[in-house]
Amino acid sequence: MNAATLGERTLSELDFCRLAQLRGADAPGELAELLGGAEVVQATLVPSDVVAMYAQVDLRDVATGRRHRFVLCYPGQTEPREGYISVLSPIGMALIGLRVGSIACWESPTGLPCRARVMAVSRIAQFTA
């Protein structure tokens, strides 16, 4: 699923609890694996360079160098044209909990492998989509 190994993901307690509630028929199988291997910390202890829910993430495609910017949100809040992507999408699952400098790996909807380096993370004040 992803280039990060067990324990290389950091989630706030709140993100962990909310993601755990998403487990079910619509959630990808990797969600349980991600939750089981993540380091869970108080929200105030999540480093500012970690991809969290509602974080704006700047990525650079490893193969092409192209840059992308996304905001990670929950299902039902997605606005792809505005850059809001679901945490349960392949790219969302690849990004959550990673640090700046990490490489996220996922498959495109057509099955092609994708790899992008997390270049920057910033928190947004509130969800606006």
The tens digit of pLDDT for each residue in 32-77 reads 888 888 999 999 999 999 999 999 999 999 999 999 999 999 988 9
The tens digit of pLDDT for each residue in 2-43 reads 344 334 899 999 999 999 988 775 677 788 888 888 999 999
Q: Evaluate whether residue 83 is within a structural domain.
A: yes
The residue type of 89 is S
Residues 6+ positions from 31 with CB-CB distance below 8 Å: 19, 22, 23, 88, 93
Q: Evaluate whether residue 72 is within a structural domain.
A: yes
Can you give the CATH number for the domain in which 80 is found?
3.10.50.30
Q: Evaluate whether residue 128 is within a structural domain.
A: no
Total tally of structural domains belonging to the chain = 1
What's the domain range around 118? Answer: 10-123
The H or E element that residue 57 is part of is strand 55-61
Distance between CA 32 and CA 107 in Å, rounded? 18
The tens digit of pLDDT for each residue in 75-124 reads 889 998 999 999 999 999 999 999 999 999 999 889 999 999 999 999 87
Q: Evaluate whether residue 104 is within a structural domain.
A: yes
Between 13-21 and 30-37, two packed helices, what is the crossing angle to 10 degrees? 160
* DSSP one-letter code for 83: T
Q: Evaluate whether residue 85 is within a structural domain.
A: yes
Give pTM, 2 decimals.
Answer: 0.85
